[in-house]
């Protein structure tokens, strides 16, 4: 008997085959599915559902509101049940009022966002959150500085050094630039950080500290470090004033790739990989970034460059006018003999060999940064046998 296809076999048995027509979706349903797929991608990238909160990224807040609306609409739950692989729709909406028809323009309006002229969800104008507004109010609230006479000569000296070129003004970029003795221009006035209290962790897991900031008009403010940071970020004319010795790290002129400032960061891995666990105290990732280190390491457990594990920050060093590419190459050359030889599988099982992990004690990294600053590092290399820097 000749081989029969499945359909022919079923026909021989008298079984009628019901033809399934491919489902078509209305434009609204397609928009709902596409919006839910954005939320699914967020979960896959961050390992959790989007959450509400003024401190959250604006798109996470958008996704959180959207998810609440989808949960509240029975027709949406039915439509999306087949692609809800993480059970996101099983939750309860945080606000039952989100039962209206899902509309991104309405969502933006509720979040206080004005879409750009291009009507691109990813291109937004500045969105001042309530936290940012409170920060601006804190900066604006000042009182008379009773001992301003002892600070007045400092401001006069800074102005003279700016006029002579000993100091310069550059765009503010990093929270790490806010420290005792630092000068800034905010709200059209020179601000001097006279004192910084103990650093503490906020309820949202971010570092902060109480400052005493003196202004050149004879006023002062006991603001938070993050409030000053937001005020500088929100002021188009906000600037930091460089230290007198701040200058190019590699050359006397700016080159392509130079940054106003940057941070060398040192991380320690919490990976349970046997090599890392055996040498955890000396296994360090040394990198360079122009963003907050806390932001750089967000989602570390999902990234091969962080060994697919969470990390802790053990040191940060701020440098000025650095060329990131040159600096990273320099660090890798100095510690090249101690580079960690390890491969880790990414989320898809592909083996990746991270490049920025080294078997180097922290005190040696400290010395290397000092030599980077005084430009003597090019005369040294790391000797793994002696566990120290030696002259070339």
What is the total count of domains within the chain?
3
Let me know if residue 248 belongs to a domain: no
Let me know if residue 7 belongs to a domain: no
Distance set, CA 34 to CA 39, 63, 101 (Å): 9, 12, 15
Query: Which of 50, 157, 26, 188 is CA-nearest to residue 107?
Result: 50
Same domain, 82 and 156: no
Position 15 scores a pLDDT of 53
Angle at which helices 27-46 and 58-72 pack, to 10 degrees? 130
Same domain, 31 and 101: yes
363 is in which domain, residue-wise? 261-391
d(CA 124, CA 22): 38
Q: Which of 211, 241, 271 is the last residue of a domain?
A: 241
Same domain, 267 and 368: yes
Let me know if residue 22 belongs to a domain: no
Same domain, 134 and 231: yes
Same domain, 147 and 82: no
Position 247 scores a pLDDT of 40
Same domain, 384 and 271: yes
Query: Which of 330, 334, 331, 354 is CA-nearest to residue 344?
Result: 354
Please answer whether residues 361 and 387 qualify as being in contact, where contact means their C-beta atoms are separated by less than 8 angstroms. yes
Position 98 scores a pLDDT of 40
Same domain, 93 and 134: no
Position 118 scores a pLDDT of 44
Let me know if residue 1 belongs to a domain: no
Same domain, 215 and 267: no
Task: Tell me the whole-structure pTM to 2 decimals.
Answer: 0.38
Same domain, 286 and 357: yes
Position 342 scores a pLDDT of 87
Q: Residue 115: helix, strand or coil by DSSP?
A: strand
Let me know if residue 5 belongs to a domain: no
Q: What is the pLDDT along the chain (392 residues), one digit of tens a residue?
A: 556 666 666 566 655 555 545 567 787 888 888 888 888 888 888 888 888 876 677 778 888 888 888 888 888 888 888 888 888 888 655 444 443 444 555 554 544 444 444 444 444 444 445 555 555 555 556 889 999 998 998 898 888 878 877 788 888 877 778 888 899 999 889 999 999 888 888 776 778 889 999 999 999 999 888 889 888 888 888 899 987 643 444 443 444 444 445 788 999 999 998 889 888 889 999 988 877 888 888 888 888 889 999 999 998 887 766 677 778 788 888 998 898 988 888 878 888 888 889 999 998 998 888 888 777 887 888 998 888 999 87
d(CA 179, CA 194): 9
Please answer whether residues 287 and 241 qualify as being in contact, where contact means their C-beta atoms are separated by less than 8 angstroms. no
Same domain, 137 and 105: no
Q: Which of 50, 76, 110 is the last residue of a domain?
A: 110
Same domain, 279 and 365: yes
Distance set, CA 319 to CA 245, 264, 265 (Å): 11, 8, 11
Let me know if residue 193 belongs to a domain: yes
Q: Which of 241, 275, 292 is the last residue of a domain?
A: 241
Which residues, including other chains, have CB under 8 Å from residue 175's CB and lie 6 or more apart? 225, 226, 229, 292
Token pair, residue 337, equals 């003999």
Which residues are bridge partners to 196 per DSSP? 211
Let me know if residue 91 belongs to a domain: yes
Let me know if residue 299 belongs to a domain: yes
Same domain, 270 and 235: no
Q: Residue 149: helix, strand or coil by DSSP?
A: helix
């Amino acid at each position: 008997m000749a081989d029969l296809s499945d359909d022919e076999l079923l026909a021989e048995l008298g079984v009628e085959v019901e033809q399934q027509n491919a489902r078509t979706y209305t434009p609204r349903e397609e928009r709902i599915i596409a919006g839910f797929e954005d939320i699914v991608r967020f979960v896959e990238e961050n390992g959790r559902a989007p959450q509400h909160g003024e401190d959250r990224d604006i798109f996470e807040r958008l996704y959180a509101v959207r998810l609440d609306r989808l949960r509240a609409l029975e027709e949406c739950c039915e439509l999306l049940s087949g692609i809800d692989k993480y059970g996101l729709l099983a939750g309860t909406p945080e606000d039952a009022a989100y039962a209206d028809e899902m509309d991104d323009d309405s969502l933006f309006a509720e979040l206080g966002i004005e879409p750009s002229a291009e009507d691109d969800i990813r291109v937004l104008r500045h969105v001042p959150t309530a936290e940012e507004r409170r920060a601006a109010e804190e900066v604006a609230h000042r009182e008379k500085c009773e001992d301003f006479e002892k600070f007045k000569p400092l401001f006069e000296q800074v102005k003279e050094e700016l006029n002579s070129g000993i100091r310069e003004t550059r765009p503010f970029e990093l929270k790490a630039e806010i420290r005792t003795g630092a000068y800034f221009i905010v709200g059209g006035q020179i601000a001097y950080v006279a004192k910084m209290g103990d650093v503490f962790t906020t309820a949202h897991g971010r570092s902060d500290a109480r400052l005493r900031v003196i202004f050149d008009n004879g006023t002062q403010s006991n603001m938070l470090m993050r409030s000053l940071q937001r005020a500088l970020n929100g002021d188009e004319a906000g600037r930091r004033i460089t230290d007198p010795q701040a200058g190019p790290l590699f050359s006397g002129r700016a080159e392509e790739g130079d940054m106003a400032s940057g941070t060398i960061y040192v991380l320690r891995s919490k990976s349970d990989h046997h090599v890392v666990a055996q040498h955890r105290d000396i296994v360090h990732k040394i990198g360079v970034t122009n963003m907050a280190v806390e932001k750089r390491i967000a989602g570390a457990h999902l990234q091969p460059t962080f060994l697919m594990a969470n990390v802790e920050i053990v040191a940060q060093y701020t440098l000025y006018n650095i060329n990131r590419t040159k600096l990273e190459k320099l660090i890798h050359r100095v510690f090249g003999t101690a580079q960690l030889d390890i491969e880790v599988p990414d989320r898809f099982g592909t083996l990746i060999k991270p490049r920025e992990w080294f078997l180097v004690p922290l005190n040696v990294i400290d010395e290397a940064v000092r030599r980077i600053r005084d430009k003597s590092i090019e005369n040294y290399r790391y000797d793994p046998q002696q566990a120290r820097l030696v002259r070339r």
